[in-house]
Amino acid sequence: MQTYTNKALFLDRDGVINHDPGDYTTNLEDFVILPYVLETLKKWYDAGYKLIVITNQGGLAKKLYTEHEVHAMHQYLQGECVFRGFEIEAFYYCSHHEAHNGKCLCRKPGSLMVERALHRFKINPELSLMIGDRDRDVACANGAGVRGIKIETNSKIPLPEEIL
């Protein structure tokens, strides 16, 4: 079995990258990047980590917003990153919600989104980690063999030197 050397920082979106108002972030106007996020992500990128967003977007199943809004938020975030000299490698989102679609394998705490990224980008899970603000984020990471780290909602993402 081949061992990959690529490493990644997987990130939950709402409450980790952008302000989580306590309900759904439904449009670009409400998508507010948290202070220090871009500077912190640049440090992770400069440390050799691929940056990958892993997010549940159950509001799609509830028809609270559309995939167009999700893409607009991700495109805006990517633009802000590129402006600062780095990029997010990929955005993975689950559009399901158990109350509307039943259970699925991709919705966190399921690990399918992380597993897909590990395979696609030839990432070593043992060299990688995931930062989220819910227990389901940690369970998702751990289910894929990635170290999960839970932070407080809407707080600062740890720097590489604070974790490694």
Residues tagged active-site: 12, 14
Pair 155, 137: CB distance under 8 Å: no
Point out which residues pair with 162 in neighbouring strands. Answer: none
- Please give the DSSP secondary-structure letter assigned to residue 28: G
Structure tokens belonging to residue 146:
């990635």
CB-based contacts of 164, cutoff 8 Å, min separation 6: 47
Q: How do beta strands 49-56 and 147-150 pair?
A: unpaired
Which residue reads 């690529």 in tokens?
Answer: 6
